[in-house]
Chains A and B, each alone.
Chain A
Amino acid sequence: MTIRHVRLALLLLFVLLFLLPVYVLLVTSFKPLSEADPSQAWNLPRVWTTEAWAVAWEKLSPGFANSFLLAVPGSLISAALGAMNGYVLSKWRFPGSELVFTLFLFGMFIPYQGVMIPLVQLMVNLGVYGGIPGLVLAHVVYGIPICTLIFRNYYATIPDELIEASRVDGAGMLRTFASIVIPVSGPAFAVVIIWQFTSLWNDFLFAVFLTGPSSWPATVMLNNIAGAQTVPYSQQMAAAILASVPTMIIYVLLGRFFMRGLMAGALKG
């Protein structure tokens, strides 16, 4: 028994603890009605069935479609804005650009409750309240800070000489952006798109304040399913897993980009 083994044993113990909720979710979702009860939470199903999954999918699928309509355009627009801002704030600065950046960053930390009441009012006045476009607008605007930050930090690693050389050759700001900067921006786009997709997909606060029943995303639908006393537990758990599938796939396949987004959230920490 060396220190090494103790560390490994502890880490494995934590793996078990971290996976406990996943175990319960999975086994319950495959149970028939008679077994899906808290008193049998830790037991494996005696009879395995995918019945709950089929019903859960039927209930959740409209929300699924809405979530895609929300998260795909939302994350693409966010990435485009973030790239432009990050480029200017790192390579084509203007007087006061540092202050602008700091003022942007504050937007990353504000609790959205602080803007929600006026935002609802504004959306009602603009006639976009209740629909998906309004929700996309909100996510894009409040995503500007983090997207700008990720691109700015990424572009800081491009040598200034490269930009300067392009300038000397007579290329303007947009030309330089398109021909020098965009071609090397792949990783930053991946980080931002994944980050925004995940937060748009998982969002509940904006959705619950800004959308009506026909445009509820998967999170709100799931919360309604889970809140209803009449829905069997096996269906609730299957719905919870289904609602997490898209972000889990991204996490498993592209985890390293997800990580970089997380680290950017800590500013330069």
Chain B
Amino acid sequence: MTRVRRWLPGLLLVSPSIIAIAVFVYGMLGWNFKVALSDQHDEISPGSFVGLENFTGIWSEDRWGLSVRHAIVFTVVFVLGALMLGWLLAFLMERGIRGEGGFRAVYLFPMAVSFIATGVVWRWLLNSGTGERAVGLNGLLGYLGLDFLQWGWFRDPDWGMAAMAVPAIWQMSGYIMALFLAGFRGVPEELRESARVDGCTEWQVYRHIVLPFLRPVTLAALIILGHISLKVFDLIVAVSGKQIITDVPAIFMWTAVFDSHDPAKGATIAAYIVLSVCVFVVPYLIWNARRGDRT
């Protein structure tokens, strides 16, 4: 009884949040799946259970295949791009450099601004005109004599989504830099020193001492970038709106709800987004919880 009295107040204090999370996270996710498994294709009908019909049926739509392809291209370019640029910036700074605070402030500031705001200017910069009609980044490339690099950016029918990743990389690589910088600084200097004394080259020191220390950071960065990427929405709305050429599942879902008024389809797309995120977030959370137990 005394033990219960010891922990009960704590449970009571957290219980509003437990209820809120249970209802709004887990309850709503469940409800969304229920809608996705029904034939509620308009806003009035109650809808009845139809199994996985929506989940399989959607693959026969051209638009869905396109939006999945776009999401994959975007994810690959964005995740690798932000990871590499973030790593490079941290690598250039890790030994300490004059004005480090200033550099960090510049690389990180895009994180503090919304994509809706920066999208206004990115839409201009990524203008698709080339040659005589080149403006924005293409125009700048023209000034610099790099005309051969001009292309249609996000209007390119095949690789446009790779261009869409440019503003995303611009926004997130400072964050990744900060993570890697913390990782670099977590390597004890004595370890590096003793390896050098043992005759290791700088490359060997990096490969065998520093790199293993960066592994957890890299994993965390991958998870963060990946889950942001799969649900990307604001950026696309801001840069190109609802155009099919840059359609992704989150935009498709938005139009399914507001333009086609089809809850079942919207819920199906949402369910796919959730599942794609779960595939790598759930193992990460389990791994993280286990790691927490050990320390």
- List the A residue with the shortest CB-CB distance to B36: A117
A48 neighbours in B (Cβ, 8 Å): none
| B274→A110 contact, CB < 8 A | yes
A251 neighbours in B (Cβ, 8 Å): 108-109, 112
How far apart are the CA atoms of A142 and B254 in the complex, in Å?
20
B227 neighbours in A (Cβ, 8 Å): 109, 111
Number of A-B contacts (CB under 8 A): 269
| B103→A202 contact, CB < 8 A | no
How far apart are the CA atoms of A247 and B293 in the complex, in Å?
37
How far apart are the CA atoms of A148 and B234 in the complex, in Å?
26
Contact with A along B1-44 (1 / 0, CB 8 A): 00000011111011011101100111111011001000000000
Interface check B289, CB cutoff 8 A:
yes
B28 neighbours in A (Cβ, 8 Å): 114-115, 118-119, 122
Q: Contacting A141 at CB < 8 Å: which of B20, B98, B277?
A: B20
- List the B residue with the shortest CB-CB distance to A219: B116
Interface check A116, CB cutoff 8 A:
yes
Q: Contacting A173 at CB < 8 Å: which of B10, B93, B98?
A: B10
Q: Contacting A18 at CB < 8 Å: which of B16, B170, B285?
A: B170
Interface check B245, CB cutoff 8 A:
no
| A21→B122 contact, CB < 8 A | yes
Shortest CB-to-CB span from A129 to chain B, Å, is 13
Interface check A196, CB cutoff 8 A:
no
| A266→B220 contact, CB < 8 A | yes
Shortest CB-to-CB span from A30 to chain B, Å, is 14
Contact with B along A164-197 (1 / 0, CB 8 A): 0000000011100000000000000000000000
Interface check B118, CB cutoff 8 A:
yes
A97 neighbours in B (Cβ, 8 Å): 10, 14
| B14→A100 contact, CB < 8 A | yes
Contact with A along B233-254 (1 / 0, CB 8 A): 1100110010000000110011
Q: Contacting B117 at CB < 8 Å: which of A8, A88, A233, A244?
A: A244
A250 neighbours in B (Cβ, 8 Å): 112
Interface check B221, CB cutoff 8 A:
yes
- List the A residue with the shortest CB-CB distance to B43: A121
How far apart are the CA atoms of A155 and B289 in the complex, in Å?
18
Stretch from B59-67, B134-142, B152-160 forming part of the interface with A: B134-142
Shortest CB-to-CB span from A38 to chain B, Å, is 4
- List the B residue with the shortest CB-CB distance to A113: B270
Interface check A198, CB cutoff 8 A:
yes
| B253→A142 contact, CB < 8 A | no
| B17→A81 contact, CB < 8 A | yes
B123 neighbours in A (Cβ, 8 Å): 226
Shortest CB-to-CB span from A258 to chain B, Å, is 7
| A172→B273 contact, CB < 8 A | no
List 10 other contacts, CB 8 Å, given A85-B17, A105-B285, A209-B257: A11-B92, A41-B139, A89-B14, A106-B285, A109-B227, A119-B24, A173-B13, A226-B116, A239-B120, A269-B216
Residues of A within 8 A of B (CB): 4, 7-8, 10-11, 14-15, 18-21, 24-25, 28, 38-39, 41-42, 81, 84-85, 87-89, 92-95, 97-98, 100, 102-107, 109-122, 138, 141-142, 144-145, 148, 172-174, 198, 201-205, 208-209, 219-220, 222-223, 226-227, 233, 236-237, 239-241, 243-244, 247-248, 250-252, 255, 258-259, 262-263, 265-269
**Top 8 A-B pairs ranked by shortest CB distance?**
A269-B220, A202-B114, A115-B28, A111-B231, A114-B274, A94-B7, A92-B10, A118-B31
